[in-house]
Amino acid sequence: MIQPAQSRVVRAAFKTLLLCSVLLAPLSYGEVVPSGTEAQIRERLTADGSVCRAGQDCGTAAAAAATGPKSGQQVYEKFCFACHAAGVSGAPILGNSEQWAPRVAKGMDALMQSTLNGLNAMPAKGTCATCSDDELKASVEYMSGGPAG
């Protein structure tokens, strides 16, 4: 059986050994140098791709940005169809004149106010925060079946 005095000696020896190993460990590893020349290491550390910013000449690999406004159909197919194809939360369905008639009767100004500010479950501008008012108007006309009065 270990006596209290022996126990203190064992604990002190353990602490000393632990402290020495923690303090001396960095000295035993030495300098770690990755394999290869400096040029090879730099090459491995470069980014895989690059970013082409607006206004820069990025060569032919850069995707051409869409120019001009989106049509009503394009806006509908990208942003509006999720709700207006199935009538989610009471959204009038594309081309359903019965559902669109009371809305069209209020006029385009009222329809645009609902479109721009949101209505019920529809957020402001539907889900197209980047669409212009003209693009949104074209999408409303597309969905409702024609220009509203």
Give the tokens for residue 54: 């607006």
| Phi and psi angles of residue 94, each rounded to the nearest 5 degrees, phi first | -50, 125
Note whether residue 63 is domain-resident.
no
The answer to whether position 27 is within a domain reads no
Q: What is the pLDDT of residues 21-61, one digit of tens each?
A: 767 766 665 565 667 788 887 777 776 667 777 777 776 65
CATH number at residue 119: 1.10.760.10
Beta-carbon count within 10 A of 111 CB: 21
Report field, pTM of the whole predicted structure over 0.75: no
**Mean residue pLDDT across the chain:** 81
> How many domains are contained in the chain?
1
Q: Token pair of 3, please?
A: 């006596």
